[in-house]
Amino acid sequence: MKKNIIFLVLLSFISVVSFAQEDATGVKEKDYPVSATFESGALIDAQTVVIPDKKTLEMLIQHKFGTIENGRSDLWGIYGSANIRLGLNYVVAKNMQIGAGITKKGMMGEKSILDLNAKWTLLSQTRKNSIPVSVALYGNVAADGVAASVYDGVKIRMSSDHSTVSYLPADRLSYFSQLIVARKFNDWLSLQAGVSFTHYNMVKSIYDHDKVGVHFNGRVKVSPQGSLIFTYDHPLKIKEISEQWEWTNHPKPALCLGYEVSTGTHAFQIYMGSTTSLLPQDNIMWNQNEIDKTGLTIGFTITRLWGF
Amino acid sequence: MSIMKRYSIFLILIVFSLFLGGCKYDFILPEEVPVIDTTKPVSFATQIAPIFVAEKCTSCHNTQAPKLTADVAYAQIVPAFINAGTPANSKIYSVPVSGTHYAKYSATEAALILAWITDGAKNN
């Protein structure tokens, strides 16, 4: 379990070291970062390597509706039970962003989840390829907001000393950290891949606390303002970090396809995908939606930027 | 540049303290179902009827059938919601345990209700 944490920490430091070297040697010929690898910091429900200019406030409105299985009786889920996330991100320094958001619900039926997050673009791809890819690091911590009374009478076994206790506030927390590598191949094609580590402080005794996921996202521009976009998240089965003898309800991969319309300060993305979660850890740890009509949902993401 | 580097270190610390700080591996243990003492009969008045109040059944089932308030609950349930031959198929047991009914018994409550039906669903 701990091995993976160390692995991710090391991985991030490797990137830091290579960044520092780039600085030390100095690039003689001026080489500028490529513009707009993606149109916004959010792609459907995923993070991109893009961070807006310094002192920019970004508002996010994210919606995922119910599954489309009921057809016209609830207008393909649009009048079903929706998941909503409202978020604000602020760019505190060049390529560094902090943010917070509140999500209506998670897969475990929480009523509201507060998340705090940070993103840092370590490396930006340049036009003359002196840096061929952009690299970003994203991390968040989320606290579920169910009433404490839900935990009444629930017995929890502490990992530290194996004693049995009742609920502690720290058991509400979950974490997600991700390393993202992206490349803008040309004006119309940008692709990115990521590896992530998800941790929940408390799970039911049949589940795992940790999950490693891989992520693929992309954009194919079809017109000056319009793009086809996709995200794919795959939770990995890694025996070494599992605490169980067998896999119980192993989370299912999530595929989302959508269309993006963007302007200078707006991005509007409408999509269909096989997950109802809006928080990445919720998706990687608990997604049970199949890629068929019982699991697909319609959703949209709106971002709005304000410069200060 | 030096300002940016200072920020960088600051941000690395934030991201990883968010991630590493207070990492716990706690488990929610499954509910332990007490073994029901079959030598003593389960009492409807003191053990079964209070479940309907505790699980808030009575907040709907005070006007809807079956009415589960303590004064009328027994007459409403027996015999209509009891299957003496196969106690587990009794509606008062099966609907909140395996059906689509949104309110559910806890494992302990379910065990008590099943024991009471098996015992003959007596008004004791």
**Mean predicted confidence (pLDDT) in A236-261:** 91
What is the average pLDDT value for chain A, to the nearest integer? 87
CB contact under 8 A, A175 and B23: yes
CB contact under 8 A, A201 and B12: no
Best of A27, A159, A167, A208 to disrupt the B interface (most B CBs within 10 Å) is A159
Tell me how close the Cα of B48 comes to any Cα of chain A, in angstroms: 19
pLDDT at A153: 73
pLDDT at A16: 45
**Mean predicted confidence (pLDDT) in A222-249:** 91
What is the average pLDDT value for chain B, to the nearest integer? 79
A289 three-state secondary structure: coil
A99 three-state secondary structure: strand
Among positive and negative, which fits the CA dihedral A45, A40, A234, A203? negative
Best of A124, A158, A198 to disrupt the B interface (most B CBs within 10 Å) is A158
* HSE value, Cβ hemisphere, 13 Å, CA-based, for A285: 26
pLDDT at A198: 94
Contacts with A123 from chain B: Cβ below 8 Å: none
State the Cα–Cα distance between residues A7 and A14, nearest whole angstrom.
11
**Domain range summary for chain A, segments of one domain joined by +:** 2-307
Tell me how close the Cα of A270 comes to any Cα of chain B, in angstroms: 30
Strand (E) or helix (H) holding A193 = strand A189-200
Q: Is residue A204 scored above 60 in pLDDT?
A: yes
Domain that holds residue B81: 44-118
Of A94, A173, A205, the CB nearest to B29: A205
User: 3-state secondary structure string, A249-286?
Assistant: CCCCCEEEEEEEEECCCEEEEEEEECCCCCCHHHHHHH
DSSP string, chain B: -HHHHHHHHHHHHHHHHHHHTT---EEEPPPPPPPP-TTSPPPIIIIIHHHHHHTTGGGTTTTSSSP-STTTHHHHHTTTT--SSSGGG-HHHHHHHHSS-SS---HHHHHHHHHHHHTT----
pLDDT at B5: 64
Domain count, chain B: 1
Confidence tier at B103 by pLDDT (50, 70, 90): confident
Interface of A with B (CB under 8 A): 1, 5, 9, 12, 16, 23, 92-94, 96, 98, 116, 118, 120, 137, 139-141, 154-160, 164, 168, 170-171, 173, 175, 177, 199, 201-206, 209, 243
**Of B85 and A85, which is predicted with more confidence?**
A85
Q: Which of residues 19-38 of B touch A (CB under 8 A)?
A: 19-20, 22-32
For residues A265 and A305, the answer to whether their CB atoms sit within 8 Å is yes
Best of B3, B19, B105 to disrupt the A interface (most A CBs within 10 Å) is B19
**Of A286 and B7, which is predicted with more confidence?**
A286
Confidence tier at A17 by pLDDT (50, 70, 90): very low
If you ran DSSP here, which 8-state letter would residue A33 be given?
B
Q: Residues of chain A with pLDDT > 90: what percent?
A: 62
pLDDT at B13: 67
**Mean predicted confidence (pLDDT) in A46-67:** 94
CB contact under 8 A, A170 and B22: yes
B68 domain-assigned: yes
What are B28-37's pLDDT values in tens digits? 888 777 777 7
Q: Is residue A232 scored above 70 in pLDDT?
A: yes
**Mean predicted confidence (pLDDT) in A174-187:** 94
Report CA-CA distances (Å) from A289 to A72, A111, A249, A250, A270.
Answer: 20, 20, 11, 11, 19
Q: Is residue B3 scored above 80 in pLDDT?
A: no
**Two tokens, residue A19:** 């960044």
State the Cα–Cα distance between residues A38 and A33, nearest whole angstrom.
13
Cis peptide leading into residue A280 (ω within 30°): no
* HSE value, Cβ hemisphere, 13 Å, CA-based, for B40: 8
* HSE value, Cβ hemisphere, 13 Å, CA-based, for A105: 14
Pick from A168, A266, A249: nearest CA to A207: A249
Contacts with A140 from chain B: Cβ below 8 Å: 18
Helices B91-98, B107-118: crossing angle, 10 deg rounding: 160
The amino acid that residue A4 corresponds to is N
pLDDT at B25: 86
Q: Is residue B15 scored above 70 in pLDDT?
A: no
B34 domain-assigned: no
Q: Is residue B43 scored above 60 in pLDDT?
A: yes
Q: Is residue B120 scored above 70 in pLDDT?
A: yes
**Of A306 and A161, which is predicted with more confidence?**
A306
What are B70-91's pLDDT values in tens digits? 888 888 888 888 888 888 888 8
Q: Which residue in chain B is spatially nearest to A138 when comparing CA positions?
A: B15
What are A111-153's pLDDT values in tens digits? 789 999 999 999 999 999 899 999 999 999 999 888 887 777 7
Which own/partner pairs from B102-107 qualify as long-range (CB within 8 Å, at least 24 positions apart)?
B103/B55, B103/B56, B103/B57, B104/B55, B105/B51, B105/B55, B106/B31, B106/B55, B107/B31, B107/B33
**Mean predicted confidence (pLDDT) in B51-64:** 81
Q: Is residue A171 scored above 80 in pLDDT?
A: yes
Tell me how close the Cα of B18 comes to any Cα of chain A, in angstroms: 6
**Of A163 and A291, which is predicted with more confidence?**
A291
pLDDT at A120: 93
pLDDT at A6: 52
Confidence tier at B6 by pLDDT (50, 70, 90): low
pLDDT at A174: 92
Number of Cβ within a 10 Å radius of residue A126: 18
Strand (E) or helix (H) holding A16 = helix A2-25
State the Cα–Cα distance between residues A283 and A251, nearest whole angstrom.
8
The CATH architecture assigned to A2-307 reads Beta Barrel (2.40)
Q: Which residue in chain B is spatially nearest to A204 when comparing CA positions?
A: B28
**Two tokens, residue A149:** 């009374």
**Two tokens, residue A197:** 């580590």
CB contact under 8 A, B18 and A120: no
State the Cα–Cα distance between residues B27 and B29, nearest whole angstrom.
6
**Two tokens, residue A204:** 């039911």
Q: Is residue A103 scored above 60 in pLDDT?
A: yes
Of A93, A158, A209, the CB nearest to B7: A93
Q: Is residue A58 scored above 80 in pLDDT?
A: yes
State the Cα–Cα distance between residues A79 and A1, nearest whole angstrom.
41
B22 domain-assigned: no
pTM (2 d.p.): 0.73
pLDDT at A31: 85
Of A5, A98, A159, the CB nearest to B26: A159
B114 domain-assigned: yes
Q: Which residue in chain B is spatially nearest to A156 when comparing CA positions?
A: B28
